[in-house]
């Protein structure tokens, strides 16, 4: 009868496997492919926005990120879309005014690039 150990050398077996060189190489390869596809999709839709595709590296995992930190912080709206809304803004003189933000369909850049289903997330409001 075989014995399966839950740890190897004091490390969880799942972490040992995840840190295996072959597994890490495959994670890098797939992350690169997804990032390239996401960048291609974003370029097709970019007018003059500041959104960009970035790859973040964790201890084990890699993350393909749609970032809009330099612009309107609209990455969530770009990916999933948004409903029409009225927001309060300030002009360059500090005067407040109300602005209409039109509805927008999501582009699902990351979902498409990763071959994931395009599902709108629950109602999210970001201030």
CB contact set of 121 (below 8 Å; sequence gap of 6+): 80
Cα separations in angstroms, 54 against 32, 39, 66: 10, 9, 6
Six-digit token pair at 116? 């994931």
In DSSP terms, 101 is beta-bridged to 85
Q: What is the pTM of this model?
A: 0.76
Query: Minimum mean pLDDT among 40-44, 103-107, 118-122: which range?
Result: 118-122
Domain boundaries, the chain: 11-113
| Percent of residues, the chain, with pLDDT higher than 70 | 91
For residue range 61-106, list pLDDT tens digits in order.
Answer: 999 999 998 777 789 888 998 899 998 988 999 999 999 989 989 9
């Amino acid at each position: 009868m075989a014995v399966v150990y839950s740890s190897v050398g004091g490390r969880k077996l799942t972490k040992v496997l995840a840190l295996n060189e072959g597994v890490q190489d495959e994670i890098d390869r797939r992350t690169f492919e997804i990032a390239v596809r996401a960048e291609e999709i974003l370029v097709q839709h970019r007018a003059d926005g500041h959104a960009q595709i970035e790859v973040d590296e964790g201890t084990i995992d890699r993350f393909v990120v749609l970032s809009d930190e330099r612009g309107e912080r609209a990455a969530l709206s770009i990916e999933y879309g948004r409903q029409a809304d009225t927001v309060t803004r300030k002009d360059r003189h500090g005067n407040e005014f109300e602005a209409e933000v039109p509805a927008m369909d999501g582009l699902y850049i990351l979902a498409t690039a990763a071959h994931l289903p395009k599902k709108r997330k629950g109602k999210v409001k970001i201030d």
